[in-house]
Homo-oligomer: A and B are copies of this chain.
Amino acid sequence: MNSVASDPVLIGLDWGTSSLRAFLIGADGEVLDRQSSGEGILQVPDRDFEGAFARLLAPWNAHSNLPVIASGMITSRNGWVETPYVSTPSGADALANALAEHQAENGRTVHFVTGMTDESGGAPDVMRGEETQIVGALDGIGGDGTFVMPGTHSKWIDVRGGSIARFATYMTGDVFAALRDHTILGALIQDGDFNEAGFREGVVAGRDGGHNLLRTLFHVRTLPLFGRIDANMVTDFLSGMLIGAELEATKSVSSDGGPITIVGRDDLADRYQIACEIFDLNCKRAPHDIAARGHFAIATYAGLL
């Protein structure tokens, strides 16, 4: 029997700092259609979120009866409707119970997924949007596990019994760009394509010395100065050192040695995959469209479907 496209049952929004994606979701959680826009929360003119929302969903006005669920930085202080965080441990059920309802000017009701907070590191950690993706990834993968979401602020998320048990943010990408562009480490950098050898050497250096990063970083200057790595390796050596330090530090998060799921399919995820190999960590990639799967799972728990 051939499968036929189901009728849409839900609209999901993943509305972050720099981008906005919308999914038209079917009865099995599959993505039937999608819209995207560059109107991340910091790019919406005059903070007119109502207008941006109406414009984005106009192509789906035939489905004006569908519930809308939204996740991401859109619920932060600089977003549309600020919502409180739920605390770890929490799963799809807790996120469903904490949905914040908002009546939009175009007549639609938006159910905001609130962010999550964690105090396991001795100070607050926060995320908005990643929790929804993890719920979606669990839907596709199931079970316990550790997830890494590389980026400006990498998130490491530990799932136990279907709930997000704890998580930690690493400022790896943000720190990398600042060091490369605004410290002496940039002076000896020669731009070029991805240099995997340099990256691999950096991962090892970060693994072995990342607990003492303020010192180890200076080697990014001295090694090329002494001709021990080439100028075209320096950027990726620095990148590897930071990612290596991150993986070494996350041993306390991913304590069970189980597989690590890398969320993201870009160049950055490739780097993390190489780094996992160097650490002898079993890793795999998350499937596509996990944000939409998370929207579907949370909406299901909330009885919106």
Number of copies: 2
The CA-CA distance from A125 to B225 in the complex, in Å, is 10
Against B, the Cβ 8 Å flags (1 = close, 0 = not) of A55-70 are 0000000000000000
A218 near B169: Cβ-Cβ < 8 Å:
yes
Interface centre among A177, A209, A212 (most CB of B within 10 A): A212
Asked if A178 lies at the interface with its beta carbon under 8 angstroms from chain B, I say yes
Against B, the Cβ 8 Å flags (1 = close, 0 = not) of A211-230 are 11111111100110110100
Asked if A246 lies at the interface with its beta carbon under 8 angstroms from chain B, I say yes
Chain A, interface SS category: helix
B124 near A217: Cβ-Cβ < 8 Å:
no
Task: Give the contacts of A177-223 with B (CB-CB under 8 A).
Answer: 177-179, 181-185, 205, 208-209, 211-219, 222-223
Asked if A27 lies at the interface with its beta carbon under 8 angstroms from chain B, I say no
Interface centre among A177, A211, A246 (most CB of B within 10 A): A211
Q: Which residue of B lies closest to A76 (CB)?
A: B225
Q: Which residue of B lies closest to A121 (CB)?
A: B215
B218 near A153: Cβ-Cβ < 8 Å:
yes
A127 vs chain B, min Cβ distance (A): 11
A280 vs chain B, min Cβ distance (A): 21
Interface size for A (C-beta < 8 A) is 45
Neighbouring B residues of A208 by C-beta, 8 Å: 122
Q: Which residue of B lies closest to A205 (CB)?
A: B123
A121 near B184: Cβ-Cβ < 8 Å:
no
Interface centre among A170, A214, A228 (most CB of B within 10 A): A214
Neighbouring B residues of A174 by C-beta, 8 Å: 183-184
Neighbouring B residues of A252 by C-beta, 8 Å: 212
Residues of A within 8 A of B (CB): 121-126, 152-153, 168-172, 174-175, 177-179, 181-185, 205, 208-209, 211-219, 222-223, 225-226, 228, 242, 245-246, 249, 252
Smallest CB-CB A-B distances: 8 pairs: A123-B219, A178-B182, A178-B178, A170-B214, A211-B211, A124-B222, A212-B249, A174-B183
